[in-house]
Amino acid sequence: MDGNRVFGPRPVLLGHRGCGRGTVNGYLENTLESFLAAVDMGIDWVEVDVRRTSDDRLVVAHNPANTDGVFYADITATEAEALDLDTLLSALPSMVGVDFDVKTSMEDATRSRARSTMGQLAAVARRESSRRPLLISSFDPGALDIARELAPGVPRALLTWLDFPIGQAVAAAGHLDVQVLAPHWGSLRPNGVESRELHRPLEYVVSTVHASGREFLAWCPGLDFARQLLAAGVDALCVNNVPKFLPALRLATSAA
């Protein structure tokens, strides 16, 4: 195996926000219970949303504000009532990989690089990189550049949004200093932005990403499309509903 690979010789599955988005099997997303349940089920990696609070703590939360409309950037970690990132990392076994999905905030525009959300995560990522497989991902190319500067040994992934034109995503990742392209699965089939005649075959898209020296992580496909992606040669899938996807895809990932 190439020692520079992020995911290894076979496709891996990442549990989205633990066991999956929302509530899965009674486990609420982005809670310690959800992450540990996914580990108990045998997941390879977990995807962890990271946000910064007003007191420079990192918490696990997807949206910029809580359900009351209070922004995490405006409150302390105690007030946020969200899972503390260090608490999660201490509880996760070291064989479980972690994909930090870093959610930059508007306020990062006024901070130095070192004091931004990604800057705060860099020290955590450097520490954790000696303990477990890691990936830093973000929709924000500027944040990925901060990660390159402050945590240079940790692989990086460019995330692209729903129905983002896949040709642009592949080209962008090929000329950014990232190791992984991570598009939403909706970009890989006809959608409201690109109709069928504008889409290359999945195998062509994946092979082009590989030819550019990057690995391919698709996020949140349905089960049938997940099987198509694995057949096309993707390196990783970030999945919702771990208890459903893991047994259904285990044979496909082990045989690849």
Residue 17 · residue 241 · CB < 8 Å: no
Within 10 angstroms of residue 5's Cβ, the number of other Cβ atoms is: 12
Q: Residue 256's pLDDT is what?
A: 62
What does the alpha-carbon distance between residue 31 and residue 106 come to, in Å, rounded to a whole number? 25
Q: Residue 251's pLDDT is what?
A: 75
What does the alpha-carbon distance between residue 178 and residue 175 come to, in Å, rounded to a whole number? 8
Q: What does each C-alpha distance from 157 to 17, 65, 170, 196 come to in angstroms?
A: 17, 24, 12, 27
Q: Does the pTM exceed 0.75?
A: yes
pLDDT digits (tens, 9 = 90+) for 66-82: 999 999 999 999 999 99
3 state SS of 48: strand
Question: Over 80: is that where the pLDDT of 130 sits?
Answer: yes
Looking at the DSSP assignment, which residues form a beta bridge with residue 83?
60
Give DSSP secondary structure letters for 147-188. Answer: HHHHSTTS-EEEEE-TT--HHHHHHHHHTTT-SEEEEBGGGG
Cα distance between the two ends of the chain: 14
Tally of CA atoms within 13 A in the half-sphere of 21 that contains its CB? 9
1 pLDDT band, cuts 50/70/90, is very low
Going by DSSP bridges, is the β-strand pair 215-219/180-183 parallel, antiparallel, or unpaired? parallel
Q: Residue 253's pLDDT is what?
A: 80
Q: Residue 255's pLDDT is what?
A: 64
Going by DSSP bridges, is the β-strand pair 97-102/45-52 parallel, antiparallel, or unpaired? parallel
Going by DSSP bridges, is the β-strand pair 12-16/45-52 parallel, antiparallel, or unpaired? parallel
Q: What is the mean pLDDT of residues 89-97?
A: 97
**What is the 8-class DSSP label of residue 146?**
H
Query: Hey, which bits of 33-88 come out as E strands?
Result: 45-52, 58-60, 83-84
Token pair for residue 56? Answer: 């420079």
Question: Over 50: is that where the pLDDT of 209 sits?
Answer: yes
The per-residue pLDDT of the chain, averaged, comes to: 96
pLDDT digits (tens, 9 = 90+) for 14-48: 999 999 999 999 999 999 999 999 999 999 999 99
> Among the CATH numbers 3.40.718.10, 3.30.460.40, 3.20.20.190, 3.90.230.10, which is that of 12-255?
3.20.20.190
Q: Residue 2's pLDDT is what?
A: 46
Question: Over 70: is that where the pLDDT of 90 sits?
Answer: yes
Q: What is the mean pLDDT of residues 87-102?
A: 98
Residue 140 · residue 181 · CB < 8 Å: no
Residue ranges covered by each domain of the chain: 12-255
Question: Over 90: is that where the pLDDT of 4 sits?
Answer: no
Task: Give me the residue label for tokens 């990132």.
Answer: 85
What does the alpha-carbon distance between residue 167 and residue 162 come to, in Å, rounded to a whole number? 14
Within 10 angstroms of residue 93's Cβ, the number of other Cβ atoms is: 9
